[in-house]
Amino acid sequence: MTPDDLDLDLEVVHDDGSRLVGAEQRDDDAAIEGALRPRTLDAFIGQQRVKDQLGLVLEAAAARGRAADHVLLAGPPGLGKTTLAMIIAAELGTPLRVTSGPALQHAGDLAAVLSSLVPGEVLFLDEIHRMSRAAEEMLYLAMEDFRVDIIVGKGPGATAIPLDLPAFTLVGATTRAGLLPGPLRDRFGFTAHMDFYEPDDLRSILQRSAALLDVPLADDAAVEISRRSRGTPRVANRLLRRVRDFAQVRADGHVDLAVAQAALALYEVDPIGLDRLDRAVLDALLRRFAGGPVGLSTLAVAVGEESETVETVCEPFLVRAGLLARTPRGRVATPAAWSHLGLAMPAGLTPVLPFAEAEEPGSTT
């Protein structure tokens, strides 16, 4: 089987910026990634607690013959929130409409999407925390009463025209659940908090993806790739594709342990999953600033990146791996960071334990 043989019936983009799953769209890696997505809860690997809870919600809704409660999927990027939204629609046997928070900057944008829904349809709203305030307030009424008020005119002569909506299920996804206002969170009937994956689950995902891509993948190679995937299926599948390319060009096409290690070394992914930027941040912190504390903006300048990139792309994994601590005084390297880069901690330096002291959210110190 080749990527062209896969079922790539993914989605079509509507004029209003939303997308409807079920139409053919081929777009290289994006299409292949979509084809690798499981289509049922049973085929979804990992997140067993979420699967059990969500399965109960969907089965009860199907038995009642009504739209399921609204669902909020919260967790870091790449853990399968979009895949679960597609599975929810498939399990309910209804269409899936896809849009995102940044696309809904005006109440009219949201009204256009909601007014075109069909009964029972699942609306997937990605990055829901980035909706505009006006659209958010309209969504409250739509979720609770399946109704929106369309304002016609301006000033004292403005009139609100109520528009009834068909019963639908909203599936919201967010990587920053803390940014959602309380009234919006409270309107979701079920909230799924998704965790990073264990290496065994990632290995199973890699073996499934390798079979779909017709990549001969040895068990020890799958273990090696899973160890370097940062607990994230999206990263695991991306590394698998790059290892596949290496095996095709520089080996016999078969991915064994040696091929996997050589490919990952070429792409600068180290044994615990750090990439070039991660190591650059650690190296600057240790060599230039003696392990810290150092402010985020200063650290970002030292590696030639934007502060937001360092904060959102590098830091979460470095903190989770116990290599970096965020303190009120700034970023500080842990003893594990010195050990990982093979550097000796300076004499007299007070070791900082990971997770010892968190800084205030949004601080750039």
Would you please indicate which residues are annotated as catalytic (active-site) residues?
Answer: 81-82, 126, 175, 234
Q: Which residues contact 110 (CB under 8 A, 6 or more apart)?
A: 104, 131, 135, 138, 139, 142, 148
Question: 3-state SS string over 100-115?
Answer: EHHHCCCHHHHHHHHH
Q: Rounded CA gap, 207 and 215, in Å?
A: 9
Unique residue bearing structure tokens 């809704």? 61
Kindly state the greatest CA–CA separation across the chain.
75
| Whether the Cβ atoms of residue 299 and residue 331 lie closer than 8 Å to each other | yes
Distance from the Cα of residue 119 to its chain's centroid = 28
- What the block records as the tokens of 221 is 């190679």
| Whether the Cβ atoms of residue 20 and residue 95 lie closer than 8 Å to each other | yes
Cβ atoms within 10 A of the Cβ of 201, count?
18
**Distances in Å between the alpha carbon of 332 and those of 297, 298, 323?**
14, 13, 9
**Distances in Å between the alpha carbon of 68 and those of 94, 116, 136, 182, 354?**
11, 19, 21, 21, 41
Q: Which residues contact 285 (CB under 8 A, 6 or more apart)?
A: 291, 292, 294, 299, 324, 331, 333, 337
